[in-house]
Structure 1
Amino acid sequence: MIKFQERIIDFSLLILAIFFAIYARDIDVDYITYIKAFVIYWFFSTLYYHFSLTTRKGNIKIDYGISYSTSFAIFTGPLGAFLFEFVLRFTIYFYKKITNKADSEEFLDTLYNIGSFTVCGVLAYSLYHWLISFFMNFPFGYWILLLIIVAVVFITSSMFLLLISIIDGQVHSWKDVPKYLVSGRSSLDIWKITISNGLLLIFLQMKFWDLVIVLFIMNYILSRSIYSKSQSIQHKNERDYFEQLAYTDFLTAIPNRAAMGKMMELLATKTEPIAIIVTDIDYFKKINDSYNHAVGDRVIQSFASILQTKLGDSENVFRSGGEEFTIILQGLDYRTCVDKIEQVKHYVTDNHVTSYYQDDIVHIHFTASFGLYYFIPAQLSIEKGYIEADTLLIEAKNKGRNSLCYDRHQA
């Protein structure tokens, strides 16, 4: 029922556009002039479509881009605007069909675009011819009027979308209304549309066809440059995001073993001493067997949070596998490294994890063992330093767990 009501609005706008076109009876300019303007606008508007941004508000698909329909409608009248929108929107429709970019409701969306753009064009045409003689009495009156017209057209098109959103159930209170009226456009967009359409209208009225084409070409080059830069930024953000995913542990959101390997490569020739600490949770299998893996995951997350919180932002904590973590301390002397890890060990012992198990809240106490090795990577390979730290962890486990074993390399 909602979809039917949405489409009633679409068809109502289309019928209203057809009525305005029939009522106008004729185009406001001679046919030769109209054909010239039509071909130029159609060609460049089709090119510009590639630079539009498609987004969705719930079930509503919206294409955002700079439109030149306002100047065309003011120049040619309601019938001229309808014919132009009809051809342009179906050109875009068939392009999407051929390139497999059309969705299941693309045809109905095309009818909506024809209706809404034509109705907005007729509104712009009416306002211009009603008010131009008045505004021409003021300095910059032409541009003030164009700015008002573009703003009114923008608000009107937003109202169409708002009405559909209300019927679709996406607007739940009056607080949701402003985001539909102002989202998708900035004040800079309105100024760009005003200046572009204002200049185009002047050139059309004076039949300066070469200037019309030059302005379209300039806008095309500028739009392409901005679009290319925005695409480059988007691709970089996507690469950064996926790279972050590749080096981040999903469960704990801290760097994973791959990130640890990358860090170790950077530290391989370091001439200042570092400490590598390998640690894991004592009797972790027993925790999993006594409860379940969800509780076990909660314990791992708590341990990771403790390591990050107690060691500070300047340290490097990695989940190197299962319940095992690796810590790299830099810029600290041997004794300070040992003391910091001792503090972490005691903090783990003194705290507990709260989790849900079989509809009950359980408090789980756990401990951890640590192996710390202090060395200079330029004197001892970082791989051997890691092995030494891992051996010290095993020694701590053999001592009864909840222990810290540490040693340093003697050059």
Structure 2
Amino acid sequence: MMLSRARKLIFAVFFTSIAIAVYSQPFTANDTYFTALFLYWLFSSLYSHLRVVDKTKSNIPVDYGINYSLSFAIFAGPLGLFIFEALFRLTEHITKKWLKTAEPDEWLHTIYNIGSFVTFNSLAFYLYHLLYPFFDRIPFGFWLLLFLLIVIVSLLTDIGLIIVFHIVGDIRTWQEAIDFIKTRSWFDMGKASLTNGLLLIFLEEKRWGMLISLFLLNYFVSRSFFSKSQSIQHKIERDQFEKMAYTDFLTGVHNRAFMDKKIAELNQTNEWMSVVVADIDNFKKINDTYNHAVGDQVIRHFASTLQRFLNKDDFLFRSGGEEFTIFLRNRTFEESVQLVETILQAIRESVVYVEYEAEERLISYTSSFGLYFFQTGGHVSIEKAYVYADQLLLQSKNCGKNRVSVKYEGTA
């Protein structure tokens, strides 16, 4: 388990928070405190499933949601905060276990969250009382102090996580640590300071209606953003799955399924285009002389060379084995033929660096092409054009290979 390596640090932070809570100044456990405790626990628990969780580092989640701990720490002190954090984090832990969404080492996450939030926000509690007399004398001093405390707590939280990530091996360099800290948003910290500042004011004035209204407003706004974020994420995932479904795993170009999809679309365009079918000459000899791994490297080289000469309107597909199909668009017949002859020469003059039997070898090869130029939407479909281009490829093979055979269907 990843966090097991950081077990000593996690328990050190947790027991530090206990020591701070026990030896801090006592707080008054009255009706005001228990009302605040209930409301903070309720809305923090409701809000927890709307938080943005980043797992870019290993399988350890990093929570970037708004946290209400600062205002509660200033209101109730370290011991009161410890009670709140323990209640809230244990509720979160039990909920995740019940819903079967708990991470590996979830109990270590819970202990670390209690320890870190109590420790860092307790420091903010003491800094608040130390600095408040100074900030109270300047315009907007209260809000500036709250923002300063949020920045300090956020920085300490990030440093704590960086140490944990370093121990488990997910952050190894200073640059990675700096990049991690840079993911913290100034806008989010400003939002957190404003929220905690208003909550603290409402707490001190016992304006429970305003406090509940602020919690509800924050919840509904966060829920709206969360829903939009989920929709965007789902679209990204669908796009990724679609890309995987239409991508050849070996070469990274489009596969035969995407070729069929594009044929259905382009058959309706009534445009002039060239269907080109190409393959590697004597490819079986390459596999027999070396092995299939070397053959795969040659196929990848062939695909990348073809791709290099195409523009954004063209399409390249791996239509099978060492065979590739190209749709050349927005070109005249002469331009299409000239481009294919340029590709043919580039392949003829290139070499592939491969690893074979622990040595680097140089392999040269040639290719053959069949090009059929026609207008879509007429009596010749792209499916038929592909068959004709494949026959022209066979003609190139029969005529000695390393050449282009072409046919111009109709008049452009």
Same fold by TM-score, threshold 0.5 exceeded?
Answer: yes
The ranges of structure 1 where at least 4 consecutive aligned residues each deviate by more than 6 angstroms after the TM superposition are: 2-5
Counterparts in 2 of 1:286 and 1:43: CA distance versus 1, 3 Å: same
Q: Partners in 1 of 2:375 and 2:4 — Cα distance?
A: 73
Match of 1:86 in 2: 86
Counterparts in 2 of 1:300 and 1:218: CA distance versus 1, 3 Å: same
Q: CA deviation at 1:7?
A: 2.7
Counterparts in 2 of 1:10 and 1:403: CA distance versus 1, 3 Å: closer
Q: Deviations over 1:188-219 (max 9, x none)?
A: 11101100000000011111100000000010
Counterparts in 2 of 1:102 and 1:278: CA distance versus 1, 3 Å: same
Secondary structure of 1:302 counterpart: helix
Q: CA deviation at 1:66?
A: 0.9
One-letter identity of the residue aligned with 1:115:
G
Match of 1:280 in 2: 279
**Residue 367 of structure 2 corresponds to residue 368 of structure 1:** yes
Secondary structure of 1:266 counterpart: helix
**Pairwise mapping of residues 12-411 of structure 1 onto structure 2 (< 5 A)?**
12-24=12-24, 26-28=26-28, 31-56=30-55, 57-58=57-58, 61-168=61-168, 172-180=172-180, 182-379=181-378, 380-410=380-410
One-letter identity of the residue aligned with 2:361:
V
Q: Partners in 2 of 1:331 and 1:175 — Cα distance?
A: 47
Secondary structure of 1:366 counterpart: coil
One-letter identity of the residue aligned with 2:12:
S
Q: Partners in 2 of 1:354 and 1:112 — Cα distance?
A: 51
One-letter identity of the residue aligned with 2:339:
K
Q: CA deviation at 1:39?
A: 0.8
Counterparts in 2 of 1:116 and 1:354: CA distance versus 1, 3 Å: closer
Worse-matched range after superposition: 266-275 or 38-47: 266-275
Counterparts in 2 of 1:42 and 1:386: CA distance versus 1, 3 Å: same
Q: In 2, are the aligned partners of 1:257 and 1:320 still within 8 Å (CA)?
A: yes
Counterparts in 2 of 1:315 and 1:218: CA distance versus 1, 3 Å: same
Q: In 1, are the aligned partners of 2:3 and 2:108 still within 8 Å (CA)?
A: no
Secondary structure of 1:185 counterpart: coil
Q: Partners in 2 of 1:218 and 1:287 — Cα distance?
A: 68
One-letter identity of the residue aligned with 2:330:
G
Q: CA deviation at 1:165?
A: 4.2
Q: Partners in 2 of 1:313 and 1:221 — Cα distance?
A: 43
Q: CA deviation at 1:313?
A: 3.9
- 5+ residue gaps, structure 1, are none
Q: Partners in 2 of 1:26 and 1:361 — Cα distance?
A: 74
Secondary structure of 1:405 counterpart: strand
TM-score (structure 1 length as normaliser): 0.92
RMSD between superposed Cα atoms in Å: 2.2
- 5+ residue gaps, structure 2, are none
Counterparts in 2 of 1:155 and 1:382: CA distance versus 1, 3 Å: closer
Counterparts in 2 of 1:310 and 1:24: CA distance versus 1, 3 Å: closer
Q: Partners in 2 of 1:325 and 1:179 — Cα distance?
A: 42
Q: CA deviation at 1:8?
A: 2.9
Q: Partners in 2 of 1:4 and 1:306 — Cα distance?
A: 48
Q: Deviations over 1:260-303 (max 9, x none)?
A: 11221122123232111111111111111111111111111111
Q: In 1, are the aligned partners of 2:3 and 2:105 still within 8 Å (CA)?
A: no
Q: Deviations over 1:355-402 (max 9, x none)?
A: 121122222221212111111122222221111111111222121222
One-letter identity of the residue aligned with 2:390:
D
Q: Partners in 2 of 1:68 and 1:162 — Cα distance?
A: 22
Secondary structure of 2:309 counterpart: helix
Worse-matched range after superposition: 292-301 or 152-161: 152-161
Q: In 1, are the aligned partners of 2:4 and 2:105 still within 8 Å (CA)?
A: no
Q: In 2, are the aligned partners of 1:64 and 1:184 still within 8 Å (CA)?
A: no
Q: In 1, are the aligned partners of 2:25 and 2:77 still within 8 Å (CA)?
A: no
Q: In 2, are the aligned partners of 1:280 and 1:324 still within 8 Å (CA)?
A: yes
Q: CA deviation at 1:36?
A: 0.9
Q: Partners in 2 of 1:73 and 1:91 — Cα distance?
A: 19
Secondary structure of 2:402 counterpart: coil
Counterparts in 2 of 1:164 and 1:374: CA distance versus 1, 3 Å: closer
Q: Partners in 2 of 1:3 and 1:39 — Cα distance?
A: 31
Q: Partners in 2 of 1:281 and 1:345 — Cα distance?
A: 11
Match of 2:9 in 1: 9
Q: Partners in 2 of 1:206 and 1:342 — Cα distance?
A: 82
Q: In 1, are the aligned partners of 2:73 and 2:81 still within 8 Å (CA)?
A: yes
Secondary structure of 1:270 counterpart: coil
Q: CA deviation at 1:60?
A: 5.0
Counterparts in 2 of 1:275 and 1:103: CA distance versus 1, 3 Å: closer
